[in-house]
Amino acid sequence: MTVGRAEVTRGPTSLAETARLSGEFADRHNLVYCVLWLTGELDIAAVREAWRGVCLSHDVLRRAYVSPDEACTYDDVLGDVEFHTADTDTEALKTIRRIIEPPFDLAGVGLSRIAIVQRDDHRHLLGIALDHIIVDEKTWKRLMKDFGEFYERAIQGASVPDKAGKNAYHDFALLERRELSGAWGEERRAFWRSQTEQFGTFPPPFPIACEAKGKSRLTAVHHALPADAKARVLDIARRARATPFVTVASAVLGGLREVSGAPTVGVTTPFHGRVLPGTSDIAGLFVKMVPLSLTARSRRQLETVREVFAHTLDVFEYNLALGPAGKLWNEELASVDRPAGVNVTLDKRTVSFEDSLLVGTKAEIVPLYVPGEVTWPRTVQFRWELDGTDPQIVVYYNENYFPDEAIESLIQAAESFVLSADS
């Protein structure tokens, strides 16, 4: 690994970085990674030039941490593309796994790895791993888009961009801290204080009593939905003037209320939005878990969806990393030791790689499991998969903590919410 020549800047961390550096999610490896076979003509020198261009264009890839509150940025890239050869596919995969698997040291320098293993002139195994502290879903897509564009320029003999004067995550962190101390921050402080007073601290708990019964045993339930499930969700969303995600989140919230009898229930969901002006094109960590809540006043299907939609607009607009924000404001907004009760997503979220992103090659993703991936032992992961010919609800949960009958009842209630013909 090559350490950059000198630091360019020092400044504050973003709230999302602070949360991670303060110990949140320390029980997992926090890798965002992709491994794929590339078939076709691959120019290794162009790959190196393209990756260097990506690192110079996005300062988050040259970022390191002095403390939970301070980061520094280097003026040169912090690592090069490793190149290896292998005689067999098994050997190639073993080499990539050895490079990709180890968790990053947040006290060290360099939070990305990229390697190529050549099997023959027309077949290569490519592996990319980034620590989650510098990347989220939108950032990954942006980095890979630039990687593909810079590679195409390089093989055509055109110059790859040098250091860009924009897209600076350092500048975003400065702006976020500055805005927190002004009117922008006061609006968010008042909003989240009111949310805490109404719904309690973040994250919302599971509203049914649970008891740990030994070592965590993660199980998955694949619950088939009717073939027209997506059409039904879209129809409800249209009639409620909401979104498909809000519709399925409302189904889970309505199911939680029905199964538990609790007057107020809540779930969490990941949100990848950039909330400050001028930050939409910046690469870095922006994803946060935000709460959605449902009160007892909603009774019918469309009423429920409309209430959740109104709440969604607010929490997405005001979303922050609530742990560090609360500490800065001396407000108790988050319960650090309490995991989320239920997390809801619509369709599968994964890192992706276009099958022809590196021009002249075709890519095939390798489903590589790295030990230490998130297991969420005290969170129910509730995912709606509506695209494709076999829509389904997929629920992951720890069967040694959550009652099986409660999970089954929740799934049935959520499905019934979507399939009902309420108006």
pLDDT recorded at residue 420:
85
Beta-bridge mates of residue 320:
none
Q: Tokens at residue 226, please? A: 């009717």
Q: How many domains does the chain have?
A: 2
Q: Tokens at residue 394, please? A: 């997929």
Helix axes 404-419, 229-240, angle to 10 degrees: 70
Q: How far apart are CA 318 and CA 192, in angstroms?
A: 8
128 plus 235 within the same structural domain: no
Q: Which residues contact 231 (CB under 8 A, 6 or more apart)?
A: none
What Å distances lie between residue 349 and 241, 270, 309, 414, CA to CA? 25, 10, 21, 20
Residues of the chain predicted below pLDDT 50: 1, 4
165 plus 204 within the same structural domain: no
Q: Is residue 191 part of a domain?
A: no
**What's the pTM?**
0.90
Beta strands in 144-199 (DSSP E): none
85 plus 233 within the same structural domain: no
Q: Is residue 342 part of a domain?
A: yes
Q: Which residues contact 138 (CB under 8 A, 6 or more apart)?
A: 272, 274, 286, 287
215 plus 284 within the same structural domain: yes
pLDDT recorded at residue 4:
47
pLDDT digits (tens, 9 = 90+) for 44-54: 999 999 999 99
153 plus 279 within the same structural domain: no
Q: Which residues contact 217 (CB under 8 A, 6 or more apart)?
A: 398, 399, 400
HSE toward the beta carbon, residue 74, CA cutoff 13 A: 20
Containing 268, the helix (H) or strand (E) segment is strand 265-271
Spatial contact of 356 and 363, defined as CB atoms under 8 Å apart: yes
CA 17 to chain centre: 13
B/e letters for 255-273, b = 16+ CB within 10 Å, e = fewer, are bbbbbbebebbbbbbebee
334 plus 276 within the same structural domain: yes
102 plus 219 within the same structural domain: no
245 plus 389 within the same structural domain: yes
245 plus 386 within the same structural domain: yes
Q: Is residue 415 part of a domain?
A: yes
pLDDT recorded at residue 376:
82
Structural domain containing residue 384: 200-353+368-419
pLDDT recorded at residue 372:
78
Q: How far apart are CA 411 and CA 229, in angstroms?
A: 14
